[in-house]
Homo-oligomer: A and B are copies of this chain.
Amino acid sequence: MGSKYPRSVRGCLPLWTLMLEAVFILIFFFFTNYDSSSQKIMGTHQAVFRDVTIMAALGLGFLNSSLWRYGWSSVAFNLFMLALGVQWAVLLDGWLDQLSFGKVVIELSSIQQATMSAMSVLISAGAVMGKTNLVQMVLMVLMEVTAFGTLRMINKQYLNEDDHESMMQIHVFAAYFGLAASWCLSRPLPKGVKKKEKRTTIPSLFAMLGTLFLWIFWPSFNSALLDIPYQKKNAVCNTYYALAASTVTAISASALAHPQGKINMTHIHNAVLAGGVAVGASCHLISSLWIAMVLGLVAGLISIGGAKCLPVCFNRVLGIHDTCGVHYTFGLPGLLGGITYLAIFFAAWSKNAMLGFLVLIGTGTVTLSVAMGLVSGLLTGLLLNLKIWRAPHVAKYFDDQAFWEFPHLAVGF
């Protein structure tokens, strides 16, 4: 306890974040405006905004809370990153939309999109969780929101995608960003630290709570940026059935993958959501429920397969440590979603002369997301490795006591 770590946070964190908050306030003072002429009644809009906030604060907050001694940090740091990310994203999105540093008009819809953009950080955080301090998190928020905003801007400006399609790159982008950042931060874990990665009963129930929130509100997330009524309806129905199929598949496949037929709770937390990720990009275009269900089934299998194989093959070989499995939760199903999107495009436009061009663009989008995620993640990871942030010592990984004042020093609960 004590050691030299805690003092460093005290020296760094409040200084940095309060300054940053002051800078934000100044920028908002000079560069933002309300549009007070709008008389739109906003019942539905507010509901969608609320749903997205629930997913970000409750869903992603608790999803990663299953580590034995890292529950407080995962939930509270998640809220901290969300609060910071939303402030930065709304500015950045405004500037990138108009491609200049002019006044940004704040609408409820822009705050909603900012919340969704900030979710990219919350997803990536699952890969580096427990290995960084709050100052590093602040830096990661700024870097990732900027990178994701740029990716969305490129998609919209140069690849002619709409808000929905460019947002749905979030899973792939965030997963590979997190993996790349985690690769830079990975160190061999001492034995005592490995023990802290264990999951136990009650924290797993909290994680299940997060999973359920995500599961329930995923249809809202996938349909949040769609405007045409029947597309919105299709998005909701397809997402729901894809989730249902991936839930059934994930639980069965998890039992199949264990030599004694036992289900792995950590896999379930993540794999039941695979259907929602996979169906994301194309949920409004899929014209039959069975396609969504096939996608959900395949996504569930891939996710469980990834959960079994990736830690052994991929992570160990490359030396990546992916704390909460974002690779198989968001990365692989997201890639599947990208391929599906391409296939649907292919089927729908197969009579089109410009097909080659369109497929090229489609492939480009997915590749771009992965590449952008990897490059910006690497860059961020290298920055986070600098000594000035005073990262927690590896012996203090996955431990709430490095950050939190405990009323007593009892172990765990």
Contact = CB atoms under 8 A, between A and B. Distances in A.
Interface in A380-412: 400, 403-405, 407-408, 410, 412
Interface string A26-39: 10110011101111
Contacts of A37: 230
A317 interface: no
Q: What is the total number of copies of this protein in its complex?
A: 3
Interface in A289-318: 289-290, 293-294, 297
Given A24-B293, A36-B234, A216 B72 contact: no
B6 A405 contact: no
Interface in A78-115: 79-80, 82-84, 86-87, 106-108, 111
A206 interface: yes
Interface residues of A, number: 123
Given A233-B38, A233-B108, A263-B405, A80 B248 contact: yes
Nearest to A65: B205
Given A6-B260, A201-B412, 6 more contacts: A34-B288, A40-B229, A46-B220, A50-B219, A71-B201, A111-B237
Q: Which of A65, A87, A107, A404 has the most CB of B within 10 A?
A: A404
B18 A249 contact: yes
A24 B400 CA distance: 45
A13 B255 contact: yes
Given A71-B205, A80-B247, A413-B202, A57 B212 contact: yes
B260 A7 contact: yes
A200 interface: yes
A364 interface: no
A146 to B, nearest CB: 18
A58 B287 CA distance: 29
A10 B262 CA distance: 8
Given A57-B212, A72-B265, A413-B413, A407 B205 contact: no
Interface stretch (A168-176, A238-246, A321-329, A354-362): A238-246
Given A234-B34, A289-B106, A405-B265, A43 B47 contact: yes
A188 interface: no
26 contacts: A6-B262, A7-B261, A8-B261, A17-B248, A21-B297, A22-B297, A25-B290, A25-B294, A34-B237, A36-B234, A39-B229, A39-B230, A42-B233, A46-B47, A47-B47, A50-B216, A50-B219, A50-B220, A65-B205, A79-B272, A80-B251, A86-B240, A87-B241, A108-B237, A262-B403, A263-B403
A63 interface: no
A187 interface: no
A289 to B, nearest CB: 5
A179 interface: no
A204 interface: yes
Contact of A261 (B6, B111, B200, B202): B6
A253 interface: yes
8 smallest CB-CB distances across A and B, nearest first, come from A10-B261, A43-B44, A14-B256, A28-B290, A83-B247, A83-B244, A262-B405, A6-B260
A208 interface: yes
A108 to B, nearest CB: 6
B202 A202 contact: yes
A32 B293 CA distance: 12
B252 A17 contact: yes
A71 B230 CA distance: 39
